[in-house]
Amino acid sequence: MRIDRPTPPRFDTRLLPRADLLRDFLAVVIEGGIRPAALRVHLSQSALTRRIQELERTLGAQLFERHALGMRLTRFGEVLRHHAQLIDLSCYYAVSELTDLRDGGAGELRVAAGPAWDSALVPDAIVAVQKRYPKIRFLVSSRHNEDTLPLLTDARIDVVLGAIPEKSRRDPQITYEHVIDIEHRVFANDHHPMQRSSGLRPRDMHQASWIWFAEAVTSRADLNAWFERARLAPPESAVEITSLQAAVRLMQKHDFLMLLPSTLTPVLAERGLRPLKMRDPLGSYPAGLMYRESALRLRAFSELRRHVLALARGRSA
């Protein structure tokens, strides 16, 4: 009788770095230098330096280039960062799933949502999840894709709700789930003179006072293109801002215009703000959930996803 035995590893296991050294390595990568990384992992600078040197000796490769502004990864370091992040992510989801099984839907979920989501869909979805899994702790960041997608790639958040990037800019390790097409709309307060007009064109709004989201690179490019198609230079901003709450307050107090996603229409209506009636649409963009497949194993994430999909369908109906 033949017994098939496991094939032994084809690599030298002595070259495998310890998990604690990988943790220290990632801390230096994230912080960009020994001093801030040492604070992050609760070591002295000299101790952390020795541990990085030990890791380099183990692998037989230089991982960082030292320079005046900090530490920069070498090509070897870039390769290790990729695999170290996968190991760290696997450990994170292992602990999360075990906690989920042991405590009945506990743990934490790290969510990042752009303006189209964080004031309209995400709060309602979180409330629904909390009712079913009251032990879940949510960490919610209200920022744009330009900031949050790199955090998702680095496994520092679990899910991003926002505009789905073009295929050429997608990370093959991330799932991009299209949920809804969101329209660009120009909002103003109920008393703005332009609210009395319909069929507004770019030239009608060119001299208006505009508020821009300082971080919204894509939406600003879309609005600029809308003016350029009318042979007009893009309008200057009167205010650049990062807070939606502050922008809403400004529009309530003064006749500003602001480009915002259509999903905010019912929320902003409660604050006396409505979209203007345009002659030509400004366009739309695909939006949805972006996450790693591992997240689907967590009950809290699956529940959040289910409610987001239901709310988005109701909003678009």
**Can you tell me which residue has the tokens 């490019």?**
221
The 10 Å CB-count burial string (b at 16+, else e) for 33-65 is: ebeebbebbebeeeebbebbeebbeebeeebbe
What integer pLDDT is reported at residue 53 of this predicted model? Answer: 92
Q: Which of 144-158, 242-256, 269-283 shows the lowest per-residue confidence on average (mean pLDDT)?
A: 144-158
Which uninterrupted H or E stretch holds 315? helix 299-316
**What is the DSSP annotation of 84-133?**
HHHHHHHHHHHHHHHHHHHHTS-SEEEEEE-HHHHTTTHHHHHHHHHHH-
Lowest-confidence range among 49-53, 141-145, 254-258, 275-279? 141-145
Q: What percent of the chain has pLDDT over 90?
A: 39
21-50 mean pLDDT: 90
Using 50, 70 and 90 to split pLDDT, how confident is the model at 209? very high
* pLDDT at position 8 over 80: no
Cα–Cα distance between 121 and 125 in angstroms, integer? Answer: 6
> So what's the pLDDT on residue 11?
45
The string of pLDDT tens digits covering residues 80-119 is 988 888 787 777 767 766 666 666 566 788 999 988 888 7
- Kindly state the average pLDDT of the residues 270-283: 92
Q: Which residues contact 59 (CB under 8 A, 6 or more apart)?
A: 15, 17, 76, 80
The pLDDT score that the predictor gives to residue 103 is 61
Q: Report pLDDT for 221.
A: 85
Q: Which pair of tokens denotes residue 232?
A: 């007009």
pTM, two decimals, is 0.69
pLDDT in tens, 120-176: 789 999 999 998 888 888 989 888 888 888 888 877 888 999 999 999 989 988 999
Q: Helix 122-132 crosses helix 299-316 at what angle (to 10 degrees)?
A: 140
Q: Return the pLDDT at 236.
A: 86
State the fold for domain 13-82.
Answer: Arc Repressor Mutant, subunit A (1.10.10)
Higher pLDDT, 67 or 72: 72
CATH T-level assignment (fold) for domain 91-180+286-316: D-Maltodextrin-Binding Protein; domain 2 (3.40.190)
* Overall average pLDDT of the 267-274 stretch: 94
Looking at per-residue pLDDT, the higher value among 9 and 122 belongs to 122
Residue 13 scores a pLDDT above 60: no
Average pLDDT across the chain, whole number: 85
- 182-283 — its CATH code? 3.40.190.290
pLDDT score recorded for residue 67: 80
Q: Could you state, in order of their start, the residue ranges of all structural domains in the chain?
A: 13-82, 91-180+286-316, 182-283
Same fold for the domain at 13-82 and the one at 91-180+286-316?
no
The pLDDT value recorded for residue 289 is: 95
Average pLDDT over residues 10-36: 77
Mean pLDDT within 192-197: 94
pLDDT at 233: 92
